[in-house]
Every structure is written in structure tokens, then in C-alpha cells.
Amino acid sequence: MRVEFINPFLTATQNVFSTMLGCTLARGPLQLKHDAPVHEVSGMIGLSGRCRGMVMVSMGRDTALAAAGALLGTRPADLNGDVLDAVGELTNMIAGAAKSQLEEYRLSIGLPTVICGMVHSIKFPPGATPIVIPFDCSLGPVSVEVGLVESPQS
């Protein structure tokens, strides 16, 4: 995994959370992904083009509720369709902003998918070892996992 793939997602996440949710993210140390997500709610988007892979934005239940509340103007009482849509839209905004910084790879982004539950397993494409970028903010902890690998030239 090349560092030039990570920095656009790091910057995009910080910008989206600042602009859309009004909170500043504090980044923790980067790490290689080894286990299942540590958070209950995960938004994912596939990426294709000169690179292929995926970005996943994960957060706990309380963080997802607070983020949805910031976007919707009122905090939902429980995980529902609005919360899942909000997490999917945040994931979409992060992927779109990072894509614009990676123009030379001619990336296309898929539609967001959101998974809930404490035990879920996400498989990244072969060869795309994901890097976890942990963040903390006033809404709670968030992590972004990015796994990209250059596509074979045809």
C-alpha cells in the first residue's frame, strides 16, 4: 500500500467531518488491518480504475447516532434507515473527495453499503492490504480503512 493512496483519504475524512459535522478529528497512529472492524456501523465503497480496492468508514452506535443527528438536525433514538443513510453519505463524501485528489488513477466509486453489527467481516481485494486510520472527535471514535492496489495494465 502506497502512502500517496492514504493521504487523500486522511485529508478527505478530516475535511468532511469538519465541514458537514462541525467537528475536528484527532488522528491516531496508522496501523495495518488484522481483525474485524472494532466499531458497530461500517459504511463501505468500492473503488475501481487504475487502482482497485475499497474504503470503509466505521464508527460505534453512539457516534453514528451523533453524526446522523448533526446531519439531520435531530438525533435519532436508535439505529434506523436515516442513520444508515447518513453513514453511507459520509462514506460517499469521503470517497468522492479522496477520488478528486487521486485523478491520475481515474477512479470510479461504487454505491455505499452500510453494515451494522458487532461481528462483521469485510474482505478487501487480493493484494490490497488495508491501512486503518483511527480518529477521535467530539462525536466519538471513527476509523477509516483504505485498501487499494494498482490494477494490472491491459
Is pLDDT of 154 > 60?
no
| Rounded-to-5 percentages of helix, strand, coil across the chain | 35, 30, 35
User: Among positive and negative, which fits the CA dihedral 8, 2, 52, 146?
Assistant: negative
Is pLDDT of 1 > 70?
no
Whole-model pTM: value is 0.92
Could you give all domains of the chain from N- to C-terminal order, each with its CATH number?
3-150 (3.40.1550.10)
- How does pLDDT run across 96-119, given as a tens digit for each residue? 999 999 999 999 999 999 999 887
- How does pLDDT run across 6-17, given as a tens digit for each residue? 999 999 999 999
Q: What are phi and psi of 124, to 5 degrees?
A: -90, 160
